A and B are shown apart, each in its own frame.
Chain A
């Protein structure tokens, strides 16, 4: 794009050969872009494994009675599906892949503040993943507690809970160190002239996420340590038979795991906020409002954990306080949706694949958000608690939110990462199939939940048959769409795509450098003179 690139070829991050070449060069890299890709490839592997588990469970539910697995296998499967998808895919998700790859570039830095710590976070992630996997094959069989490890069952089951919990503990460490790294990077390495309010909004989203990772993760860490101590040493922390309090476990677990939902969704929202102005050809509407709403979500998100426990036994005062706070979180989330749509107003919209992903994101995210109000209200929650309704709500938010944003971001930044474009037409068809399948898969679950079908059972009454069959068919359509998307991207990666520098004409800093980015991102640290979205 500039002359000096043609005359003097700076090696890009893919070609660069440091002390080691080949695979060793990747495994010892401290380049944030390479670490981003390490996360990307490992995460996609776990994600696809999680998808296969989901497909198997949906197949089991195609009609009443036992199809392909018995109750114990099903219990093990939904536990592993939850562990894999939550701890190995959506929690690190957008932040670890695109945050690592793009945060330093977006703020005009050469790398994160602690590059070696960054690599260590990836290793901790892999070690944690291996320990979780070991729990499946060693000891007395795969854990069957669900990813929540609720006491006292998690203390009494004979399955291999200790290994799974240890793995989750290690993964938490990885998450904390990534968050810490990003926060320090944003404090110290913003390019000259880039005040806090000139930082791209993806950065702000990661900033809020970083604080949640730092302040919430240790609480679940210590809780998991207590579960381990209780199982190994027989200390009565949570088992009521020896004086413990299982409700206290739920509190401690959700003090982390509710904010963890915001660890998943905030970076996703941030990625969508980057995509929309680029394709509306217009500056973002309400920059400051989005900044404030990101931080408000991070902050208020701490105080709503009790809404997971409306039926567990709490005083009625705490119930309505938690319900009220839950409704308050809906406000900053809605502010973001208004800002995205207002950005489109009178824009010269360039309808491209990443933009379509963003629109699909907003659609499913709103369904997820509104159904969240149903489970956030005290009265309706009693009715739908622990039913398929909650599963539908959760997947609309976490898969529909974070998953859609992940693929949106992937399609948006793919040309920057690899300097190739994929086939737009096939990408759009893939999205369409995926979108139809997604809704067919999860929407019937709202209906089933309203009728009272409980979650986490391998079998159900005949009255739930038709909607379940529909949902299973949806899972096949969605998997087909996913296949189209992935094959299309993989083909482009293998050189079938057109070579291109900047297909979208974006205005943030990553589009001002060559594709793929040079090893050190910027030959000279840029001086920033205006906000990030000047169209």
Chain B
């Protein structure tokens, strides 16, 4: 094959609207990913109403409540960071992104203690205690670990995205004229928050 060296570079193509549509579409897929789990939860709750009710009393509403507040505040801080960027206030943007990251870390620490408490009692997927539980109890705790675990993975992905954004704001590559990445990370963070808003009542509140 004849090789031709091509000197003129491709047109730099930037389309912020496209990135945002792309992010929204990706969020749809995430919602359906958890949607499958919500179906599974509903079916098994319907099949084991008493066991699910009794098992849910083992969870600490206080811990869940604190984590809900933390995530709601972190959604606010990420929204503020976008508004600040629109006003070209780089310092405020960075401050708010850092605050979001700290809140996310606090959420995970909280979760660590919550899970750790259960692990100490020998309650974790695959443990002997878990295997000795009744079917309904086991399904409840399995779903609890699986769904909050998957949500935790999403928290970590969101933190990575926000950290990259923070670094790029710092270096000036994300700025008042070009902040699609910031908006997209923010969108993703709201999704992570939104999913928790459903997980919290399903596991902690419903009687």
B-binding residues in A (CB < 8 A):
9, 11, 14-18, 21, 110-111, 113-114, 117, 176, 180-181, 183-184, 187-189, 214-219, 221-223, 225-226, 229, 232-237, 242-245, 248, 252, 255, 519-520
- Residues of chain B within 8 A of A225, CB atoms compared: 150
Please, which residue of chain B has its CB at the minimum distance from the CB of A232?
B126
How many residues on chain B are close to A (CB under 8 Å)? Answer: 44
Min Cβ gap B51→A in Å is: 9
- Expressed in whole angstroms, the Cα–Cα distance for A187 and B4 within the complex equals 33
Q: Do the beta carbons of A188 and B17 come within 8 Å of each other?
A: yes
- Expressed in whole angstroms, the Cα–Cα distance for A217 and B17 within the complex equals 24
Q: Do the beta carbons of A235 and B5 come within 8 Å of each other?
A: no
- Expressed in whole angstroms, the Cα–Cα distance for A204 and B34 within the complex equals 29
Stretch at the interface among B37-45, B86-94, B100-108, B113-121: B37-45
Tell me which of A17, A113, A215, A519 contacts B22 (CB under 8 A): A113
Q: List 15 A-B contacts (CB under 8 A).
A: A9-B4, A15-B3, A17-B5, A17-B6, A110-B13, A183-B25, A188-B21, A214-B28, A219-B32, A219-B35, A236-B138, A237-B142, A243-B136, A245-B47, A520-B10
Asked whether any CB of chain A lies closer than 8 Å to the CB of B125, the reply is yes
Min Cβ gap A313→B in Å is: 14
Tell me which of A11, A15, A113, A244 contacts B18 (CB under 8 A): A113
Name the interface residues of B118-147: CB closer than 8 Å to any CB of A.
Answer: 125-126, 130-131, 134-136, 138-139, 142, 145-146
Q: Do the beta carbons of A229 and B146 come within 8 Å of each other?
A: yes
Min Cβ gap A117→B in Å is: 8
Q: Do the beta carbons of B125 and A235 come within 8 Å of each other?
A: yes
Tell me which of B3, B34, B130, B150 contacts A17 (CB under 8 A): B3
Asked whether any CB of chain A lies closer than 8 Å to the CB of B15, the reply is yes
Q: Do the beta carbons of B18 and A218 come within 8 Å of each other?
A: no
Asked whether any CB of chain A lies closer than 8 Å to the CB of B29, the reply is yes
- Expressed in whole angstroms, the Cα–Cα distance for A226 and B150 within the complex equals 11
Known: A188-B17, A235-B146. A248 touches B3 (CB 8 A): no
- Residues of chain A within 8 A of B15, CB atoms compared: 113, 188
Which one of B1, B33, B136 has the highest number of Cβ atoms from chain A below 10 Å of its Cβ? B33
- Expressed in whole angstroms, the Cα–Cα distance for A232 and B4 within the complex equals 53
8 additional A-B residue pairs with CB within 8 Å, beyond A17-B5, A222-B37, A519-B10? A114-B18, A184-B22, A215-B28, A218-B35, A229-B125, A234-B126, A248-B40, A520-B10
Q: Do the beta carbons of B146 and A15 come within 8 Å of each other?
A: no
- Expressed in whole angstroms, the Cα–Cα distance for A244 and B135 within the complex equals 8
A-binding residues in B (CB < 8 A):
1-6, 10-11, 13, 15, 17-18, 21-22, 25-26, 28-30, 32-37, 39-40, 43-44, 47-48, 125-126, 130-131, 134-136, 138-139, 142, 145-146, 150
- Residues of chain B within 8 A of A113, CB atoms compared: 15, 18, 22
Q: Do the beta carbons of A188 and B43 come within 8 Å of each other?
A: no
- Residues of chain A within 8 A of B17, CB atoms compared: 188
Q: Do the beta carbons of B21 and A221 come within 8 Å of each other?
A: no
Q: Do the beta carbons of B142 and A236 come within 8 Å of each other?
A: yes
Known: A113-B22, A218-B33. A15 touches B126 (CB 8 A): no
Q: Do the beta carbons of B4 and A223 come within 8 Å of each other?
A: no
Tell me which of A9, A16, A218 contacts B36 (CB under 8 A): A218
- Expressed in whole angstroms, the Cα–Cα distance for A14 and B4 within the complex equals 9
- Residues of chain A within 8 A of B37, CB atoms compared: 222
Which one of B1, B21, B22 has the highest number of Cβ atoms from chain A below 10 Å of its Cβ? B22
Please, which residue of chain B has its CB at the minimum distance from the CB of A249?
B40
Min Cβ gap B148→A in Å is: 13
Q: Do the beta carbons of B29 and A223 come within 8 Å of each other?
A: no
Q: Do the beta carbons of B35 and A236 come within 8 Å of each other?
A: no
- Expressed in whole angstroms, the Cα–Cα distance for A235 and B126 within the complex equals 7
- Residues of chain B within 8 A of A110, CB atoms compared: 10-11, 13
Q: Do the beta carbons of A11 and B4 come within 8 Å of each other?
A: yes
Min Cβ gap B149→A in Å is: 9
- Expressed in whole angstroms, the Cα–Cα distance for A226 and B36 within the complex equals 10
Q: Do the beta carbons of B2 and A234 come within 8 Å of each other?
A: no
- Residues of chain B within 8 A of A111, CB atoms compared: 13
- Residues of chain B within 8 A of A520, CB atoms compared: 10-11
- Expressed in whole angstroms, the Cα–Cα distance for A310 and B34 within the complex equals 27
Tell me which of B1, B26, B47 contacts A14 (CB under 8 A): B1
- Expressed in whole angstroms, the Cα–Cα distance for A258 and B28 within the complex equals 19
Min Cβ gap A444→B in Å is: 39
Please, which residue of chain B has its CB at the minimum distance from the CB of A235?
B142
Tell me which of A15, A183, A216, A229 contacts B2 (CB under 8 A): A15
- Residues of chain B within 8 A of A18, CB atoms compared: 6
Q: Do the beta carbons of A252 and B39 come within 8 Å of each other?
A: yes
- Residues of chain A within 8 A of B125, CB atoms compared: 229, 233-235
Min Cβ gap B80→A in Å is: 28
Q: Do the beta carbons of B36 and A252 come within 8 Å of each other?
A: yes
Q: Do the beta carbons of B1 and A243 come within 8 Å of each other?
A: no
